[in-house]
């Protein structure tokens, strides 16, 4: 079973995501950037669901850049899960280094389908490199 890390300062958002995906994925969660970095140093995640407006000293974009510098996490998909929902928000977030983007709110089936597609693309990228 694939393992996801949810990084979001909003408990309701974390709870909704967990409720939607917990039967399909192993879930860990972090509220603060330093907590997320600690979990990443101890565990191997298949993808990271990242809020952009974390409300701490580091936003999701800056945290993603740090994560992608960690050995073993250079190519792990980091997915923006955010309320920043305009087309320009999406373009700015993706051009800043996040790998994928889904805007809040979403329904369960949409999130599961989205994650399935991310993992299919990620696995195909790995096959192409070999």
pLDDT computed for residue 128 by the predictor: 54
d(C-alpha 130, C-alpha 127), whole Å: 5
Domains of the chain, first to last: 3-129 (3.40.50.2300)
Predicted confidence (pLDDT) per residue in 32-82, tens digit: 999 999 999 999 999 999 999 887 788 999 999 999 999 999 999 999 998
The average confidence (pLDDT) of the chain is: 91
pLDDT computed for residue 127 by the predictor: 54
Token readout for 97 is 């280094």
What DSSP state is assigned to residue 3?
E
Question: Residue 110 above 90 pLDDT?
Answer: yes
- Which residues neighbour 77 within 8 Å (Cβ) at sequence distance 6 or greater? 46, 47, 48, 99, 100, 118, 122
**Confidence (pTM):** 0.90
């Amino acid at each position: 079973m694939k393992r996801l890390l949810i990084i979001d300062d909003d408990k309701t958002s974390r709870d909704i995501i967990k409720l939607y995906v917990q039967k399909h994925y192993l879930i860990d969660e972090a509220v603060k950037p330093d907590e997320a970095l600690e979990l990443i140093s101890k565990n191997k995640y298949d993808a990271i669901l990242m809020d952009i407006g974390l409300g701490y000293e580091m936003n999701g974009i800056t945290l993603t850049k740090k994560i992608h510098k960690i050995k073993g996490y250079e190519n792990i998909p980091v997915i923006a899960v955010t309320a920043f929902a305009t087309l320009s928000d999406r373009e700015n977030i993706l051009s800043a280094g996040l790998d994928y983007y889904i805007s809040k709110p979403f329904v369960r089936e949409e999130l599961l389908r989205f994650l399935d597609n991310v993992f299919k693309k990620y696995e195909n990228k790995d096959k192409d490199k070999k």
